Amino acid sequence: MISTNRISISFNKTLLSVGAAMVLALGMLHTAPTQADTLDNIAKTGTVKIGVFLDYPPFGSIGPDMKPLGYDIDMADMIGKALKAKVQLVQVTGDNRMAYLAGHKADMLLSVGETPERAKVIDFSDAYAPYYLAAFGRAKLAVKSSADLAGKTVAVARGTLEDLSITKVAPPTAVIKRFDDPSGAITAFLSGQAQLMVVGNDVGATIIDKNPSVSIEQKFQLFSSPDHVGFNKNEPRLKKVLNDMIAQSKKDGSLNKIAQHWLHVSLPADL
């Protein structure tokens, strides 16, 4: 639709007849460029811009060689291959990433949890990575479910979702030790003040990597909110390409290899 702010026709002047004005408007409609969708832009430039966190190990961080590495970096590479495009990683933060997507500084975002609020403004691929809270403990400790927490000590950060989740399922005889921040809970666990800790699977995987001699393992899952690729609305072709790629990578095991490498667990069966 041509805005009346862009075409002003004065009925008090006879410079343009109504018919001439209609011809002018139709000509403008015919010649106005249409907005290419994201796949068209990627094909034109040969580059896909993918927004990632680089301070969020093991999903994204900077390695000793100053190169990005992590689950999402491997995922970005798979997306680039599926789109037959060069990957341009765009470092984002929690504050700016939605604006980057809306402003087309990034074609898509990784590590996006799906929520009703976000669904009003962006669209999502199928889940590609697990994100959840879990109880972690030493391998020799026999714990397979929340019922096994009876008589055991669990470290959490006070007032967090971790605290709320474990408090909801822990038996009455479990001792929940609450600390002012996640670092305090992790330190308490590593020093032996608590037998278990409840943290996100990303944090747990990082702690396992940094403490190989302690023999830490994931015991059971709690709250789950898997990661999706986020992209602007009205991109059905892009959504199909991404979902097809994710489905194929699950089928051929390549996505599971990434999960095992970075998270030290296999993909959940229900992902």
pLDDT in tens, 97-147: 999 999 999 999 999 999 999 999 999 999 999 999 999 999 999 999 999
| Lowest-confidence segment of 27-41, 94-108, 192-206, 247-261 by average pLDDT | 27-41
pLDDT at 10 over 70: no
133 in Cβ contact with 226 (< 8 Å): no
Query: What are the residues whose beta carbons fall under 8 Å from the beta carbon of 224, sequence distance 6 or more?
Result: 130, 131, 132, 133, 268
Is residue 18 over pLDDT 50? no
> For 197-205, what is the mean pLDDT?
96
Task: Tokens for 83, please give them.
Answer: 């789109």
Q: How far apart are CA 88 and CA 76, in angstroms?
A: 9
Q: How far is CA 24 from CA 3, 15, 27, 33, 35, in A?
A: 13, 13, 5, 16, 21
**Domains assigned to the chain:** 41-130+226-263 (3.40.190.10), 132-224 (3.40.190.10)
Tokens standing for residue 137: 């403990």
| pLDDT at residue 36, rounded to an integer | 62
pLDDT at residue 52, as a whole number: 97
List, for residues 48-95, the tens digit of each pLDDT value. 999 999 999 999 999 999 999 999 999 999 999 999 999 999 999 988
80: three-class secondary structure by DSSP:
helix
Sign of the torsion angle spanned by Cα atoms 176, 179, 183, 189: negative
Q: Is 226 helix (H, G, I), strand (E, B) or coil?
A: coil
- Predicted confidence at residue 12, as pLDDT, reads 37
How is the chain split among helix, strand and coil, in percent rounded to 5?
Answer: 40, 25, 35
Query: What string of DSSP letters covers 93-127?
Result: -TTTHHHHHHTTS-SEEEEEE--HHHHTTEEEEEE
